[in-house]
Structure 1
């Protein structure tokens, strides 16, 4: 695997905390990837995430679309977002990274941050937008920016369209996997780690498709109900960080330890909160048939090998959670408008095609879905380079 194009580590002069930026690849001089904030975030972690973004962009390459695939990048700050000093650290990080953001790194929210917080900090840092580097690639910047703003202003049953796009994609990947295995939606049980932006939206779409959500974990622990949780009630009772107010629980709901989601009696596990949460030491607890990686890098490679040996399929993050990034660009470039129904339809079509292709390749080649996805990336990156040039 080639080294990243650019790797930067920054130290905050006020708190001593560190932040990182890794640009894995540029396409037409621009890269895409979110900014995360969590205690313990490392350069190695950000490097892996940046490579993952290169793959997500390549996987959604369509030569007939207006959406131009970008290169992959990622930012990360080693700071607890609940720390009172975190917002100041964020603003200073953005000021330090301003030359990169203005020229070739487009970014948005990731773990530990909301888009609202990112936008506010970007403005305070003196910049126009967190995605301004892509503006020169647009045919009509004013219309494109208005379209994206309208899309983020759209709400569906009380939740913003921007918060739902990624979960719609995760859910669709799960549904495709179930269909290929002949597994009916009704009676299929789901356990999720995380009820934030990605986990909450995934839970909603899967529940509305007819699956039964039996467990959800947040920072306070796991909420479980073998007969099924009231997903809409839990979503309405969560705070900005995805923590559920326990007063909203029903009599049949149980409170279990935080790690209980992993061993839940469910066919589908959805880690949608943190990286590296399934490793060699705990993978034996998994009873599910599928793990859908809504979070970035939640299953460690050694654990995935052991899971595969037990017949458990990991649907990889570079496929499963890629709709969040793609939806931004589909909307900005004009492949889809700000209408929620049109957005969901486009996400479903694209994710069905992508997930289906990856699972077909895995079955035909006798490989894991992750290996199949990597093979698809290897097919598409040269085509992108041939069309737009190579920056390595």
Structure 2
């Protein structure tokens, strides 16, 4: 895959002076896919890296014979704190500015700092039909496809929307696949999760229900830890809209620790599920876990990953393990699955188990890291897509 993106755009809000970015890494059949994030300090370089990752996530889910044909990769990002009173107005004006791209070729959705309901509301205010309307011309039956996706988004499982759960289901299945291949039992395996928002919260729930022991979770207020295991369901019920846990819900044995304590707790698996660049060359020294599973996008810096690999710590890369949400949208919209929670979970588990297995097999054969294996596999699958639809990015 070429390194130069197809399109790079920076927008400056005329009201607040804040900036937003859009990067289209490549197009497939004239369309690309990638979420929109909002966080203070979001940069163009960050968005470009995320867009390239989306190209790989899409390509990795190429399966000949499926109705869903992977799209190109893209990403949007706004440099603003989503808690800022001006944030929603900034979001609407950004969408008004990039409206021609959303209408023509950029399909998007929630990402860090934004929920899908907020994105949908802002899209409507900006005069857009849908955050994924650019893909509609590729559908065999647009009316039925839109009905199916709307029905899927309306589903709730234990009080939580299906769209908020499928990504974490995929991350959890990635963890379980790694444990199975290593012959490690689920019971007693300790997990620490950074971030208890949509992705981190769902991952913690699925792992706890599989029998793993969630011993630490971190949010913007710090780390909560208990070596005997946290009550994940109680913590999820005590979250606010941004994934911060009300500390009054903690049990007497639950300890409150500094925000970065999740790195060094005694755990077998670390799941960074919040911000990018969370693990660097300095703080990686504190990690003793055997696996790091990237539920967030780009949480482990390259220099840190090299040092971790040298210490025998395996990083399962974001382009594989957190790809479930994006893929679920398209599996549903294109008709590979219906608006059914159990079917969605089963399909996600099977797809991620197959993909993680293929990546680990490739890494073992090549003698490299799972990330290098995933990138190689993505390149091969992208070449298959290009051979069918043309190389234009």
The reply to whether TM is greater than 0.5 is yes
TM-score bin (small chain): over 0.9
Task: Name the CA distance, whole Å, in 2 between partners of 1:2 and 1:238.
Answer: 39
SS of aligned partner of 2:30 = coil
Deviation, structure 1 residue 2: 2.7
| 1:82 aligned residue | 83
CA distance in 1, matches of 2:314, 2:382: 26
Scaled by the length of structure 1, the TM-score of the pair is 0.99
Residue 172 (str. 1) matches residue 140 (str. 2): no
Partner SS, residue 75 of structure 1: strand
> What residue is the counterpart of 2:121 in the other structure?
120
Counterparts of 1:309-388 in structure 2, within 5 Å, are 309-388=310-389
The corresponding residue for 1:51 is 52
Distance apart, 1:388 and its partner CA: 1.2
Post-superposition offset of 1:278:
0.1
Residue in structure 2 matched with residue 225 of structure 1 by the alignment? 226
Structure 1 counterpart of 2:266: 265
2:128 maps to 1:162: no
Q: What is the CA deviation profile of residues 118-176 of structure 1, one whole-angstrom value per residue up to 9, with x for unaligned ones?
A: 00000000010010000000011111111111111100011100000000000000000
- SS of the residue corresponding to residue 74 of structure 1 reads strand
Q: Distance in 1 between matches of 2:293 and 2:109?
A: 22
Q: Tell me how far 1:391 sits from its aligned partner.
A: 1.9
Corresponding residue SS for 2:165: helix
Matching residue of 1:307: 308
Hey, what does 2:112 align to over in structure 1? 111
Question: Which aligned runs of 4 or more in structure 1 are off by greater than 2 angstroms?
Answer: none
Q: Deviations over 1:62-108 (max 9, x none)?
A: 11100011000000000111110010000000000000000000000
Assess if the C-alpha contact under 8 Å between 1:123 and 1:129 holds in 2.
Answer: yes
Contact 1:266 1:287 in 2 (8 A): yes
Aligned-residue Cα RMSD (Å) equals: 0.6
For residues 24-63 of structure 1, the C-alpha deviation after alignment (integer angstroms, 9 at most, x for no partner) is 0000000000000000000000000000000000000011
Q: Which moved more, 1:351-360 or 1:382-391?
A: 382-391
Maintained 8 Å contact 1:38/1:78: yes
Q: Per-residue displacement from partner, 1:230-282 (whole Å, max 9, x unpaired)? A: 00010011111001111111111110000000111000000000000000110
Q: Distance in 2 between matches of 1:391 and 1:90?
A: 31
User: Whole-Å Cα distance in 2 between the matches of residues 287 and 151 of structure 1?
Assistant: 39
Q: Is 1:28 aligned with 2:29?
A: yes
Unpaired runs of 5+ in structure 2? none
Unaligned runs of 5+ in 1: none
Q: Distance in 1 between matches of 2:82 and 2:263?
A: 25
TM-score by length of 2: 0.99
Whole-angstrom CA distance in 1 between matches of 2:209 and 2:60: 27
- Give 1:206's aligned residue: 207
- Give the Cα–Cα distance (whole angstroms) in 1 for the partners of residues 276 and 201 of structure 2: 17
Equivalent position SS for 1:20: strand
The answer on whether the counterparts of 1:26 and 1:390 sit within 8 Å (CA) in structure 2 is: no
Corresponding residue SS for 1:93: helix
Quote the Cα distance in structure 2 between the aligned partners of 1:7 and 1:139.
Answer: 31
Q: In structure 2, how many angstroms separate the alpha carbons of the residues matched to 1:389 and 1:230? A: 51
Partner of 2:197: 196
CA contact (8 A) 1:225 1:254 kept: yes
Following superposition, the deviation at residue 390 of structure 1 comes to 2.0
Q: What is the distance in 1 between the residues matched to 2:219 and 2:210?
A: 23
- Residue of structure 2 equivalent to 1:60: 61
Say whether the 8 Å CA contact 1:359–1:369 is kept in structure 2. yes
1:296 alignment partner, SS class: coil
**2:276 is matched with which residue?**
275
CA distance in 1, matches of 2:321, 2:126: 33
Q: Is residue 186 from structure 1 mapped to residue 175 from structure 2 by the alignment?
A: no
